[in-house]
Structure 1
Amino acid sequence: MKRKKIGKTGSISSLISKKKSETIYYVDDKLNIGDTCVYESLESNIRKMNEVMGRSHDLIMRELLVSQKPPIKGVVFYIAGLVDEKLVGDFILKALIEDHINLEEQTLTSMEAILTSIKNQVLTIASVSSIKDWNRIINALLSGKTILFIDGVNQAIIGGTKGGERRSIEEPTSEITIRGPKEGFTEAIQTNISLIRRRIKSPHLRVDMMQLGTISQTNVAVVYVDGIVNEKLLQEVNERLGRIEIDEITSSANVEELIQDSTFTVFPTIFNTERPDIVANTLLEGRVTLVIDGTPFVLIVPTGFSQFFKAAEDYYQRYDLSTLVRILRYLAFSAAMLGPSIYIALITFHQDLIPTTLVISLAAQREGIPFPALIEALIMEITFEVLREAGVRMPRAIGQAVSIVGALVIGQAAVQAGIVSAAMVIVVAGTAIASFTTPAYSLAVAGRILRFVMMILAATMGLYGIMLGLIILVAHLSSLRSFGVPYLAPFAPLILEDQKDGLFRFPLWARRKRPRLVSQNRTVRMKEGLRPSPSNGKGDSNEI
């Protein structure tokens, strides 16, 4: 495919403003197929299609007669594997061959009348349209649709036959619940949108489709609930998507990197999920979701720090148990990030804060250790990270066994060899287990990265270094925004109403309002006075 030279630029944004620098970038033309209008000659259209598609092996062409009296030829094109071949055979090819029009009987005098007759009387497929532009024709072909050219007609008939092999709907592997629904998104965008519509049966649910990637032409759906969504938020999402100029979009991570607020942070500012129920709940809060074709992960904006500690399981069990588990997640995340650094600070600088008996025991364990506490912790942390990565990348049947057995064997051998102390193994193992309690993998990774930073601060300045690191961390989190919404909301700024689904999970009847900073439209979502109450004893309950 030919490329068009744009000019010298330093980035995509400066490319748009035509600023000059020393680097040369190229942006692909939309299709670069020359003539943009369909020819009246069938042979010319066939030749053009073969030139554009390069006579690809999976491009299927079937010639047939559209009319016998007089004989008028037609040709059908489709891509094998992208179409439902049963639809093509039963509703297009069979209909054209068996029910072809007879011009002498129907007295169709113009080619436009022939086109209209085929669309309205012959083809029985649900979605049928006619297009003149070659760019749109090729895009439809590559999207799984079937193209019909008729000799003497300067338009092509497009039939909706998208299909092919797809992965069935299964339970998400990264977000498992005990009581909730067991279905998750797939790689097919239409399937994912249908899963959302099954949960929100409202005409106000809007789906705006666009294509990103000048070569990949990836379908991206912007999904929101009209009347609840903040119009400024929706406009901001569309503007950021409209600024994307890139050859390929292959996953939701590509879109996330190009539209997020701040790229210089380890914390995720866009939430992603595989669960349709989570997407439905966030849409009803006034958020906007992005469904990308080819990936089961749906992006949700805006998001905040507290949203990464909420699991789907929280809303399928009692609110008191959900609150306890959610508080436990916050504590576990703090322990995973600060556990080794606190141990290093106490051992290195603040032995007087440790009980005397424990100090004597730790000193006896470290008597033959040749490394300082920081090096000892780094050895164990890096070893565990290697084992964790090996367990993820290896086949599922042996991945968990290798990581568990490896950790036990290496930890025991390291203690016996005098490389690390037994207390350090306990601290590292405890923090590693605590890191698995965070529902969002992206936030757990951020905690693992910050763990190493805190360890270095603790080894250099003790508890003062840890406090300095926490102050900088809180200041950094306070500066972050997700599509204009403060990242630490509802904690900073403090919003008492939103605290009902922040650190705590209040019962459903107590959460009458939507998040204040997300949606300013229809903020009240529940009738007042729905709190359950016991029977009044006047015959409302059945007696045995």
Structure 2
Amino acid sequence: MFNWWRLRKQNNGATRNQNEEMVGYSNELPLYFDLQQNLQQISQALGNSPDLKIREFEIRNSKVQAASVFIDNLTDKVVVDDFIMRSLMNDTAQDTLKNTASDKNVFDYIKKNALAIGEVQVIKDWNGLMLSILSGNTVILIHGSAEAISGDTRGGKSRELSESTSQVVIRGPKDGFTEDIATNVSLIRRRIRSPNLWLETMNIGHVTHTTVAIMYIKGIVNDQLLQEVKIRLNDIQIDGILESGYIEQLIEDQPTSPFPTIYSTERPDAVAGNLLEGRIALIVGGTPFVLILPTTFFMYFQSVEDYYQRFDIGIAVRLLRYVTFFISLWGPSIYIAAITFHQEMIPTPLLISLAAQREGVPFPAYVEAFIMEASFEILREAGVRMPRAVGQAVSIVGAIVLGQAAVQAGIVSSAMVIVVSITGIASFATPAFNMASSVRLLRFVLMFLAATFGFYGLAIGNMMLIAHLCSLRSFGVPYMAPLAPFIPADQKDAVLRLPLWSFLTRPRLISPKNMTRMKQDMKPSPPKE
């Protein structure tokens, strides 16, 4: 299932070694015994940065020199002052430390008893020391000891919880992920309070050391899938990871496909629902977008709001999304093919009306559509990039003025403006933005085939598109499952959204070893008399 990836890993072995030499790794040499030498080395490594805070002090009764080192604005100063500095300088600690006979005893006592903080680690090399300081921890260095004590004091300013801006719902939770990975993990744990919800972390990036967390439910997840995810993540050799999109592009099965094969979301409830189905979540530090894998085509037309309301409403809304997907992909192409090659398929009154509108238009239908589609994309991009206060107004007013002026100037017909407008509006109905972006690109290809060969070219393009979709895999799972291959038991949440009491099993290809989701006979009924 994953042989192609392992071949790629073997072929890139020599290149990876070269990249390691070019990028370089942090120094793994041991620390010095001399305190001043350690502090000087830290200052030089960070370029004597002004946000590097070094507090030297003497443990009075033991006459041992020590220092605390941390980065300003990455640490919680209250924790540093109350639970580290005060703990080392209080009377109880001084009375106990005065009886110590060596620096080793001082180090052991501080590590085991003196620090009133939750997480304490011992660091023995420069690589771990610098990574701990740059992660927001406070490091305690003691003269005469080649080891350091790291206390978890991570803090500083971070964005508050707010509603997701890319996946808005009317009914459902209003919290969304932030750029803090600890906050994101806690949002998921609040929804899944199970000891089987496991979390594994790793650092990726030789320079950034970005934290990437793997979250899954033990006993539900496919162990082979989990192992493959770890292999692909460990195979990444790069200097920095700045957003989850880096990870997505480096581990996906077919990076040349226009369709996304890894799902991303800002919603904690969406991640929790996919974890319960046996999928894996990748949480990347510094971004509010969490990756979910494996992915199928139908996931991009599902919204968490579908499960929070009655199934009949969910079915109607989901069918509407598929209709808008077809309109956004094939709307302009069908119009171009019909008006250019297949006029006999258009009703006579409508054909006469269209011919009258196009009487003064100097361009063929394809050029018309291309001009209007390109103008619409420019307006869309301008509305996103402009300041928020004027972006929406400029995009709306620009579209109205541009369309009206183009019709009055005789450059395009009124029917073409209507077709392009409906197509653009339909593209916004897709819940996943990355899927809508793929459709925007493919729309131009289908327009060219329709203008060149008519419905015949459009049919050939659709056949190639369907064949490509059926050939895609997401971590070994067919992209078009459960439709191709057809799995009857999984049709309850593919094209349609059947009632929740029919969700007896999990998707077969996602969680093959633990498929039972709820007990049978959960269909509600009136009370018996």
Q: Distance in 1 between matches of 2:76 and 2:416?
A: 59
1:347-377 Cα offsets, whole Å, 9 max, x none, are 0000000000011111010000000000011
Q: Does 1:62 align with 2:59?
A: no
SS of residue in 2 equivalent to 1:112:
helix
**1:359 and 2:358 are equivalent in the alignment:** no
User: Which residue number corresponds to residue 287 of structure 1?
Assistant: 279
CA distance in 2, matches of 1:402, 1:128: 54
Q: Partner residue of 2:159?
A: 167
Structure 1 residue 27: Cα displacement: 3.2
Given the superposition, is the C-alpha separation of residues 435 and 70 from structure 1 closer, same or farther in structure 2, using an over 3 Å criterion? Answer: closer
Which residue of the partner structure matches residue 327 of structure 2? 335
- The 8 Å contact of residues 65 and 100 in structure 1, kept in 2 or not, is answered as no
Secondary structure (helix, strand or coil) at the match of 2:190 reads: helix
Match of 2:518, as an amino acid?
Answer: M
List aligned pairs for 1:37-436, cutoff 5 A: 37-66=30-59, 68-99=60-91, 101-102=93-94, 107-436=99-428
Contact 1:290–1:298 at 8 Å: present in 2 too? yes
C-alpha distance after superposition, 1:377-422 (max 9, x if no partner): 1010000100011111111221111111111111001000000000
**Cα offset, 1:113, TM superposition:** 2.0
Unaligned runs of 5+ in 2: 1-7
Contact residue 337 and residue 447 of structure 1 kept, 8 A: yes
Q: 2:483 aligns with which of 488, 491, 508?
A: 491
1:292-318: per-residue Cα shift (whole Å, max 9, x none)?
Answer: 000000000000100000011101111
- Residue 146 of structure 1, CA deviation: 0.2
CA contact (8 A) 2:333 2:450 kept: yes
Aligned-pair distance for 1:102? 4.0
Give the distance between the partners of 2:441 and 2:75, measured in 1 at CA: 45
- Do the aligned residues in 2 keep the contact of 1:76 with 1:149 (CA within 8 Å)? yes
Quick one: distance in 1 between partners of 2:237 and 2:16?
A: 16
- Which structure dedicates a bigger proportion of its chain to helix? 2
- Residue ranges of structure 1 left out of the alignment (5+ in a row): 1-10, 538-544
Match of 2:468 in 1: 476
Aligned to 2:23: 28
2:61–2:98 Cα contact (<8 Å) kept: no
Q: How many pairs were matched up?
A: 522
2:211 aligned counterpart, secondary structure: strand
Task: Give the deviation of 1:464 after TM superposition.
Answer: 0.7
User: Cα distance, 1:104 vs. partner?
Assistant: 7.8
Q: Which letter does structure 1 place at the counterpart of 2:292? A: I
SS of residue in 1 equivalent to 2:198? strand
Provide, for residues 67-91 of structure 1, a one-character-per-residue CA deviation record: whole Å limited to 9, x for no partner. Answer: x124211111000111011111111
Query: Conserved in 1, the CA contact under 8 Å of 2:62 and 2:99?
Result: no
TM-score of the pair, normalised by structure 1: 0.93
C-alpha distance in 2, partners of 1:184/1:224? 19
- CA distance in 2 between counterparts of 1:390 and 1:439 reads 21
Q: What RMSD in Å do the two structures reach over aligned CA positions?
A: 1.7
Preserved contact between residue 279 and residue 294 of structure 2 (Cα < 8 Å) = yes
Residue 5 of structure 2 corresponds to none
Tell me, yes or no, if the aligned pair for 2:504 and 2:519 is still in contact at 8 Å: yes
- Structure 1 residue 281: Cα displacement: 0.5
* Identity between Structure 1 and Structure 2 (%): 52
Separation in 2 of the partners of 1:420 and 1:307? 37
Contact 2:26 2:126 in 1 (8 A): no
DSSP-derived class of the 2:22 partner: strand
Change (3 A) 1:493 1:407: same
- 1:12 and 1:517, CA in 2 relative to 1: closer, same or farther beyond 3 A? closer
**2:3 alignment counterpart:** none
Kindly provide the amino acid, as one letter, of the partner of residue 240 in structure 1. Answer: R
State the alpha-carbon separation in 1 of the partners of residues 125 and 505 from structure 2: 49
Question: What secondary structure sits across from 2:230 in the alignment?
Answer: helix
- Checking the alignment, whether the CA contact within 8 Å between 2:20 and 2:237 is kept in structure 1 is no
User: Could you say which residue in structure 1 is the equivalent of 2:14?
Assistant: 17
- Is residue 12–residue 245 contact of structure 1 (8 Å, CA) maintained in 2? no
Matched residue of 2:274: which SS? helix
1:4 alignment partner in structure 2: none
